[in-house]
Amino acid sequence: MVIDVSVDIAPAPLTLGKEREQWLKRAWDAIDESKLAELNRMMASIPSPTGEERQLAQTIVGIMNASGIDGFYQPMDDDQGNAVGRLPGVGAGADLLLYAPLDTAFSSNEEEECPWIGDRLPGEMTTNAYIRDG
């Protein structure tokens, strides 16, 4: 006996309403793609293996402060900590926490990663980030 349990579950189209569509458009218009790409390249060029995220976190704090966001470094120990930024509101709404881990799965240190990863580190395991085709 075969039972067909397939169901067509196409999602309903998302409708935001006029006001929310305008919010979304303003948010997208505020993004400078080249600055965002450079920020991503810079962050990917800083090694941050698990437990050693301090340098990247402190760099992010500096970027937040330079951008007008109240940023501070929250140490956990000598080598790791959090980059915390706060945008003040008017106090009428809920707080929102955005969480994004800063650690990577590798150190980008060939002496530490080889020979178990291979004779040498592949390009994607280094911190020589670059921007290609925008």
| pLDDT tens-place string over residues 30-67 | 999 999 999 999 998 898 988 999 999 999 999 999 99
Q: Which two tokens stand for residue 7?
A: 């169901």
Distance, in Å, from the CA atom of 55 to the CA atom of 63, rounded to the nearest integer, reads 12
- The DSSP 8-state label assigned to residue 46 in this structure reads S
* pTM of the model as a whole: 0.73
132, with CB counted inside 10 A (0-12, 13-18, 19+), is: exposed
Tell me: the pLDDT tens digits for 100-125? 888 887 778 888 888 888 888 887 77
What are the tokens at 126? Answer: 């280094």
CA dihedral 71, 127, 108, 59 (to 10 degrees): -10
